[in-house]
Structure formats: structure tokens, C-alpha cells
Structure 1
Amino acid sequence: MWRFYMKKLSISEAKNKLPRIIHEVEMGESIQLTRHGQPAALIISIAEYQLLVSRRKSFSDTIASFRDGLSADSFIEDDILTDLRATDPGREVWL
């Protein structure tokens, strides 16, 4: 659905042409709104928005995929961590 060319309009132009912009977006066009020549917003159709949202994974799904990709030998053994831990008593605490 993404195109290499996207129509660009300034926000002030868009205010005057809103009904036409809505019609173009409903027909599949995506329109970038600019403020002082810099991208400020993007107007896309409901269908394109729903497609984007449906592809997005939830945080828990992303974590589960990450965990599934780990192998059993990729974890650090406790004895290695024990060797890495500081053995000094730390600073003196005054109460």
C-alpha cells in the first residue's frame, strides 16, 4: 500500500481543501501535511490504518518471540555469575 510518491500539502492548504483531501484519501491516496516545509502529519485511509495496526505485535507477543528465539545454552550459568559478583563487604554504613 505504501507508495514512493506521496502528495504533500501545507497545513494551511489542507484547511481550505479538507473535503477534497478526505475524498482522495478514501480513494487510496496518502497525504503528508507539512508545517514550514517539514513533515508534520500523515493522512491515510481507515483501511490502510487498520492494515498497519493488524501487523503490529503486542509487547507480550514480542517478548514471547524473543524468548522462543533463545536457545537453552544462551543463558549464563549461576557459577559464572558467582565469579563475577563483588566479594568485598561494600562501604561502611553509619546509622
Structure 2
Amino acid sequence: MTEKRFAFADIPDHLAAIRHIIEEGEAVELTQEGEPVAVLISMQTFQNFKREPPTFWDALQAFRRQYADELTECDGSEFDGVRDRSSGREVVL
């Protein structure tokens, strides 16, 4: 297993390993005096963090586009016979 935690002082000695870890999509924790103080991440991961999340409407539209072939129109007939029309149980107040 590759170490994913490095002291700032050790960065020059492990630069190639740090770069490899980041390129694999993993985060590298940087420490100073044993305490974590920073994290290195790939540019792709950083861009994902920076990107604004879609609005609900945009996410819904994207979902509909993605699953358009699987979605069918609902005319309500799917629910025919679902409701129990009996009077139900007696209520005592």
C-alpha cells in the first residue's frame, strides 16, 4: 500500500510518489509536526469540487434525457383497482 501522508519536509524526496498517487485519483495529506495541514488532489477532483451543483430542474431534465427510453407516460390507468373502496374499519371515539 502506498503511503498517502507526507510531511512537508519530505516532499522533495517523495515528489514522484506523490505525483503518482495524485494521478491515480487519490488525495495526499501533508503534515507539519505530525498534524495534517493540507491536502493535494488531482486537477479533475479539484474541478469537480469547484463546479456548481446543478439546480433541481437541471438535474431532473438530465435524468429525463438519460432515461428517456425507459420512461413511459403515465395516464393514471396504472392505479385503477389499487384503492380499497370498502368502508374500512369502525372508528370508536
TM-score, scaled to structure 1: 0.48
Name the TM-score, length of structure 2 as normaliser. Answer: 0.49
The structure whose residues are more often helix, as a share, is 1
